[in-house]
Structure 1
Amino acid sequence: AGEGLATYWEGLAHNAPAFTIELKKLIGPFADVALIGGTLFGAGLLELALSIFIGFFLFLHGRRMTALTRQIAERVAGARARRLLSVVGVTVTGVVYGLIGTALAQGLLAGIGFWIAGVPQALLLGCLTFVLSFVPAGPPFVWGPVALWLFMQESVWWGIFVAIWGLLLVSSIDNFLRPYLLGKNTNLPVLLGLFGLIGGVLAFGLIGLFIGPTLLAVAHSLFREWIAAELEERRQPPSSSTERDQRSGPRQGV
């Protein structure tokens, strides 16, 4: 594509009216893209600042808010309130650690592989792998083009190394590390995790990468807890008073 672009640029450089016409065509779409990008960037900064502001008060009054939450939960859920709050806390912690921990491991492994293969900007590519690790099947969009670039540079063996490294380590560690970090109680099915990720991004934007899977994991854990409680109640034997009533039959009126 370079030769065609160079010819096109030389034609515009020697033709001022044509260059002006092409420039006017590009100004409108570029201005729209810049406006949309600036709006999204400003909204992201506002969300980040608001998160830090709310987090300050959560740390400042966390104990009082926790006690109030427990009282409200006991009024709503009764004796199982503390158990449900414990399930929610473990689920949220597991999802956050699972998402961030897995992404860090994949980014670190990808950066090490790129550095061994002598790929330029290995640190930057590792950070990009970390970002794309939050998206299902995201890391191959980094190490795949890198391996292809090495093949085009006639570094066939290094390209094969990067492809094998990315397939066996970077992409495969997600299947082992994420379930370990999430734990048994918060291990979401893959399809539900994908729905939580996509729905979170559509509903909340970039921060939905964390909110979506977390909310869905909490709902999934509470649903499983509700089913377990129902089965536990069914397995419990009837009380002694009920058994005596059933044995003695209907009581006679006085």
Structure 2
Amino acid sequence: MSTLQRPRDIPQVLLSVLFLALMIIACLWIIQPFILGFAWAATIVIATWPVLLRLQRMLFGRRGLAVLVMTLLLFLLFVIPIALLVNSVVDGSAPLVHDITSGTLELPDLAWLNSIPFIGAKLYQGWHSLLDMGGSAIMAKVRPYIGTTTTWFVGQAAHIGRFLLHCGLMLLFSALLYWQGEKVAFGIRYFATRLASKRGDAAVLLAGQAIRAVALGVVVTALTQAILGGIGLAITGVPYATLLTVVMIFSCLVQLGPLIVLVPSIIWLYWTGDTTWGTVLLVWSCVVGTMDNFIRPVLIRMGADLPMILILSGVIGGLVAFGMIGLFIGPVVLAVSWRLFDAWMHEVPPPTTDPDQVLEELQQFDMSGEKKE
């Protein structure tokens, strides 16, 4: 005897879904100010977790002491340098932005072109011919775009209060994650397993590998190269060394390398007649410019190999979307998504390399999907 199936209560289902959606939106709204700081802290903790465990063994198994040391290291390595860099960018760029926005910025005379052997005089005359033919008109057309672009970049650094707030949240969440890291990781894996069984657990592990690859292979390498390059600029007396260090950090993150800043600095030192420091910076630049060939492969092997175009897109897109914190969060988000998509795609065998064979197999079936006789 068959029993009649009870019809679903559609209003109840809709109201339940609506209630759950409202609860999720409310929770996200409440934790929105902490999302970026927590994501930044999670990236750092995942990348430096082996260091914490090693410190804990060195400190007689005391987790509290290891967490305290790691928090102090993060404060010294992130908060203080970032605060100094942001202040330097704002202070050093303020006169430039004022000149651009007020309309007092004029094209330079470039008298130093005369010091270039053989072609210097011709370059100087050509430059002034361009100015006489309408250089001021060119500057008037270009100035609005320069002003808008420069103001936008400086504006990203001018939010020093909000940025330092995220730095403080990063320190707080990092300390909490260091203290209860195993429980947090188990809870995340448990939740992923509840959603997608073993596939969800594997997705969490792959995400951890991608985060470590970006943090170690990209961010650490970029910061190391940029800081060492900035030390070289400061020692050799290149002006605006702090601002140039910020530019080097960005260029290293987008995989352009530090030489885009160091080479013009070397040329400037030689043109000013300071050949001794120019040679010192040249030798130092050779070391800094090639060290990523040795550091990055070692660090990336600790995580996962990722396409460089992915890192480039993550850095630029993260900067536009989240400001300076996006330099670190953007590549991580794209790297995690890429690793999960790549793992999902490779769950099935790859297609055959012979397209004719695929077409022949397809022709063996009729429109109903049955094999032809």
TM-score range, shorter chain: 0.5 to 0.7
Residue 191 of structure 2 is aligned to residue 72 of structure 1: yes
Per the alignment, residue 225 of structure 1 pairs with 343
* Structure 1 residue 201: Cα displacement: 0.8
Question: Which AA in structure 2 matches 1:73?
Answer: A
Residue 162 of structure 2 is aligned to residue 46 of structure 1: no
Tell me, yes or no, if the aligned pair for 1:106 and 1:129 is still in contact at 8 Å.
Answer: no
More deviation, 125-134/186-195: 125-134
Residues 135-174 of structure 1: pairs in structure 2 closer than 5 A: 135-137=254-256, 139-156=258-275, 159=278, 162-163=281-282, 165-166=284-285, 168-174=286-292
Question: Which AA in structure 2 matches 1:106?
Answer: Q
Per the alignment, residue 200 of structure 1 pairs with 318
Tell me, yes or no, if the aligned pair for 1:185 and 1:221 is still in contact at 8 Å.
Answer: no
State the alpha-carbon separation in 1 of the partners of residues 194 and 208 from structure 2.
19
Q: What SS does structure 1 have at the residue aligned with 2:331?
A: helix
Tell me, yes or no, if the aligned pair for 1:107 and 1:130 is still in contact at 8 Å.
Answer: yes
State the alpha-carbon separation in 2 of the partners of residues 36 and 128 from structure 1.
15
Residues 180-191 of structure 1: pairs in structure 2 closer than 5 A: 180-183=298-301, 186-191=304-309
Residues 1-254 of structure 1: pairs in structure 2 closer than 5 A: 40-107=159-226, 109-110=228-229, 119-120=236-237, 128=246, 131-132=249-250, 133-137=252-256, 139-156=258-275, 159=278, 162-163=281-282, 165-166=284-285, 168-183=286-301, 186-231=304-349
Tell me, yes or no, if the aligned pair for 1:110 and 1:170 is still in contact at 8 Å.
Answer: yes
Question: Which AA in structure 2 matches 1:230?
Answer: V
Tell me, yes or no, if the aligned pair for 1:110 and 1:129 is still in contact at 8 Å.
Answer: no
State the alpha-carbon separation in 2 of the partners of residues 106 and 210 from structure 1.
16
Provide the aligned C-alpha RMSD in A: 3.7
Describe the shift of the 1:158–1:213 C-alpha distance in structure 2 as closer, same or farther (beyond 3 A). Answer: same
C-alpha deviations, 1:193-250, integer Å up to 9, x for none? 1101111111111111111111111111112211222239xxxxxxxxxxxxxxxxxx
Question: Which AA in structure 2 matches 1:95?
Answer: V
State the alpha-carbon separation in 1 of the partners of residues 349 and 306 from structure 2.
21
How many residues are treated as equivalent by the alignment? 199
State the alpha-carbon separation in 2 of the partners of residues 111 and 196 from structure 1.
24
Tell me, yes or no, if the aligned pair for 1:196 and 1:212 is still in contact at 8 Å.
Answer: yes
Give the unaligned 5+ runs of structure 1: 3-28, 233-254
Question: Which AA in structure 2 matches 1:58?
Answer: L
Describe the shift of the 1:148–1:45 C-alpha distance in structure 2 as closer, same or farther (beyond 3 A). Answer: same
More deviation, 186-195/152-161: 152-161
Give the unaligned 5+ runs of structure 2: 1-107, 110-146, 351-373
Question: Which AA in structure 1 matches 2:341?
Answer: F
State the alpha-carbon separation in 2 of the partners of residues 56 and 184 from structure 1.
23
Structure 1-normalised TM-score? 0.62
Describe the shift of the 1:159–1:217 C-alpha distance in structure 2 as closer, same or farther (beyond 3 A). Answer: same
State the alpha-carbon separation in 2 of the partners of residues 38 and 190 from structure 1.
26
State the alpha-carbon separation in 2 of the partners of residues 214 and 38 from structure 1.
21
Question: Which AA in structure 2 matches 1:147?
Answer: I
Describe the shift of the 1:90–1:111 C-alpha distance in structure 2 as closer, same or farther (beyond 3 A). Answer: same
* Structure 1 residue 97: Cα displacement: 1.3
Question: Which AA in structure 2 matches 1:62?
Answer: G
Question: Which AA in structure 2 matches 1:119?
Answer: T
Using the aligned pairs only, state the percent identity.
32
